[in-house]
């Protein structure tokens, strides 16, 4: 099997900073998983956005560059007392899915959607849930898939 560092695989990580401590933990997990697999710093670009709602726009801009092999999204949307959660989480997921359906650059959905901050922290913690690491491992698996034949 070819090591990711021996290829031209390039990763973009789009991080929503609304809950900065959770975002940083997710990013640390993703970077650690990539490094463990032999991905070097020069293969990774990190883009920060204010919140999860802005993730699809940032990803769309990166997809248009046709430079990255795969894009990883990270962030958290935590349920509150209003329907805001449903709109933000739903539209972020929909935007990422729409980009995936274009068939150009795969976009991994690593955005946490939780009921509480405690759940989000546990899932982001690299010693517990490590969902950032899980998103990076999914990205590396997808990056290894063969490109489909042109139609």
DSSP the chain: ---GGGS---EEEEEE-TTHHHHHHHHHHHHHHHHHTT--GGGEEEEEESSGGGHHHHHHHHHHHT--SEEEEEEEEE--SSTHHHHHHHHHHHHHHHHHHTTSS-EEEEEEEESSHHHHHHHH-TTTT-HHHHHHHHHHHHHTSPPPPP-
Q: Which of 65, 84, 94, 104 is catalytic?
A: 84
Q: Is 84 among the residues known to form the active site?
A: yes
Catalytic annotation, residues: 84
């Amino acid at each position: 099997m070819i090591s990711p560092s021996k290829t031209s695989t390039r990763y973009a990580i789009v991080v929503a900073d609304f809950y900065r401590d959770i975002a940083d933990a997710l990013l640390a997990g993703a970077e650690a998983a990539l490094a463990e697999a032999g991905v070097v710093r020069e293969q990774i670009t990190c883009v920060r956005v204010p919140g999860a709602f802005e993730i699809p726009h940032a990803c769309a801009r990166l997809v248009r560059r046709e430079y990255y092999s795969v894009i990883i999204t990270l962030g958290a949307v935590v349920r509150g007392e209003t329907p805001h959660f449903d709109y933000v989480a739903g539209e972020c997921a929909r935007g990422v899915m729409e980009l995936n359906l274009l068939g150009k650059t795969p976009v991994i959905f690593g955005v946490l959607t939780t009921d509480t901050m405690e759940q989000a922290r546990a899932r982001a913690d690299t010693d517990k849930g490590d969902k950032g690491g899980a998103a990076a491992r999914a990205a590396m698996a997808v990056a290894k898939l063969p490109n489909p034949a042109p139609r």
